[in-house]
Structure 1
Amino acid sequence: MTRLIRFNKPYDVLPQFTDRGSESSPRATLSDWIDLPGVYPAGRLDRDSEGLMLLTDHGRLQAWISDPQHKMPKTYWVQVEGTPDAAAIQALADGVELKDGLTRPAKAALMDEPDGIWARNPPIRVRKSVPDSWIALTIREGRNRQVRRMTAAVGHPTLRLIRAAIGIWTLDGLSPGNWEDLEVPSIPGPPKPKPAPNRQAIARRKAAASTPARPEPNARAKPRKPRKPRKG
């Protein structure tokens, strides 16, 4: 059976099952939290980001969730330095010019600190002279460290980044480091190809259309004169 799980990735955990870095200083990976053979992440989440990850053992489902061409929305809770004004929020929504081009239109809004948010370990860097704020940001693409670059481009560097939702799936009720199974959705497939045309039938129809119609029997025959009645 196909398996799909959601996982609340803690801060400072690599979004993969093995660490290809230095053996002398191994880093935390998904294998420290998930002991399920055969499942793989459907998309990435940076080591210094937290929140929702989806994992599955089904290749088509993995591609459908993670491939940017499907434009599946991803919502982030972003704690930023300073308080963005209306112009900064509108810029995030309209698209921000980055080194790799203009970002697609997004949904952006100021929000209160999320209810029941867990403490991060280690805590974020705080400056007493500069306030911080939270933004809800929904994007439909997946460039490298895109959210952090977007907020920096409008003058509000990201302090903490939590992915709250991917498509219909959310973090609701899931504590950091925990995972649970999800109901597997139907995967939209490519449109069914039209049946190949029957070349012989097409040729017969064309031949029939180009052949002049034969007249009906006796269609051109002159009408017979009525016989005269015999005498006697």
Structure 2
Amino acid sequence: MLLGKVIHKHYIVFKPYGFLSQFQTNSRQQQSKKLLGGLADFSKGAMAIGRLDEKSEGLLLVTTDGKISDFVNGQKVDKEYYVQVDGDMSSDAIGRLEKGVEIGFNGGKYLTKPCKVLKLSDVPDLPGRPKKIRDDRHGPTSWLSITLNEGKFRQVRKMTSAVGFPTLRLVRVRIGKIKLGKMQPSDVVEVGGFLDLL
């Protein structure tokens, strides 16, 4: 470390299904939960940038630099998700998602900002997950790419439910220029130097 200059550490993480996006539990109810800190020996002061809920998977950035966390959470950086929903999503529902839908947030109502939604023609090549998702014998499902630059609590799940297509699986595949690529669940890659997102 140079005198007077802090060298920050950054990590690219594939958060697995069933893990919390935090390093310490906040309550007794969470003491038996799997935590992000169990995946690697992260540097002191490391924090997750944004969060993925316990049932969501995919790309998560961890850093010791609070300015980067503020930048990503400040709605300047796109986040892309692959989302499997229950049912064959209609073009009308996609249009509603793109324009913005009303969801519950902090005990009130919130209108989501316009976003990009694309119905995928093929099932994305993603690693399997430990908890099985029902198959098409129980009715059709759709895969979407949803790109937004905000991140309210469980926002994507609430959005698809608001248009009548509950989320079955949610995987974040991109934050800015950083992509999940061929990473596997629980992979942690340390990134040296500057974390280039745009």
Q: If the TM-score is normalised by the length of the shorter chain, which range does it land in?
A: 0.7 to 0.9
- Give the root-mean-square deviation of aligned CA atoms: 2.0
Unmatched 5+ stretches in structure 1 = 189-232
Deviation, structure 1 residue 185: 3.6
2:55 to 48, 61, 68: 48
SS at match of 1:54: strand
Q: 1:15 aligns with which of 6, 11, 21?
A: 21
Alpha-carbon distance change, 24 to 75 in structure 1, aligned in 2, over 3 angstroms: closer
Report the Cα distance in structure 2 between the residues aligned to 1:187 and 1:159, rounded to whole angstroms.
29
Distance 1:187 1:138, change over 3 A: closer
**In the alignment, is residue 77 of structure 1 matched against residue 87 of structure 2?**
no
Q: How far is 1:126 from its partner?
A: 4.1
C-alpha separation between the residues in 2 aligned to 1:21 and 1:123? 28
SS at match of 2:145: strand
Out of 92, 98, 108, the residue aligned to residue 93 of structure 1 is 98
1:6 aligns with 2:12: yes
Higher relative CO (CA 8 A, sep ≥ 6), structure 1 or 2? 2
Aligned partners of 1:104 and 1:187: how far apart in 2? Answer: 21
The alignment-based identity, stated in percent, is 36
Counterpart in the other structure of 2:139: 130
Q: Deviations over 1:140-180 (max 9, x none)?
A: 11111110011011111000000111111110121110011
Q: Is the 8 A contact 1:61 1:187 kept in 2?
A: no
Alpha-carbon distance in structure 2 between the residues aligned to 1:24 and 1:152: 26
TM-score of the superposition, structure 2-length normalised? 0.86
CA–CA distance in 1 between the matches of 2:184 and 2:110?
36
SS at match of 2:119: strand
Given the superposition, is the C-alpha separation of residues 187 and 52 from structure 1 closer, same or farther in structure 2, using an over 3 Å criterion? closer
Report what 2:3 is aligned to.
none
Counterparts of 1:24 and 1:17, CA distance in 2: 11
1:49 to partner: Cα distance: 0.4
Change (3 A) 1:110 1:2: same
Pairwise CA distance, 1:74: 0.6
Using a 3 Å threshold, how does the CA distance of structure 1 residues 187 and 136 change in structure 2: closer, same or farther? closer
Change beyond 3 A, Cα 1:98–1:24? closer
2:69 maps to amino acid: Q
Structure 1 residues 76, 23: CA separation in 2 closer, same or farther (over 3 Å shift)? closer
AA of the residue aligned to 2:23: F
| CA contact 2:78–2:176 (8 Å) conserved in 1 | yes
Q: Structure 2 vs 1, CA of residues 23 and 105 (structure 1 numbering), >3 Å: closer, same or farther?
A: closer
Provide the TM-score with structure 1 as the length reference. Answer: 0.74
Equivalent in 101, 119, 138 of residue 110 of structure 1: 119
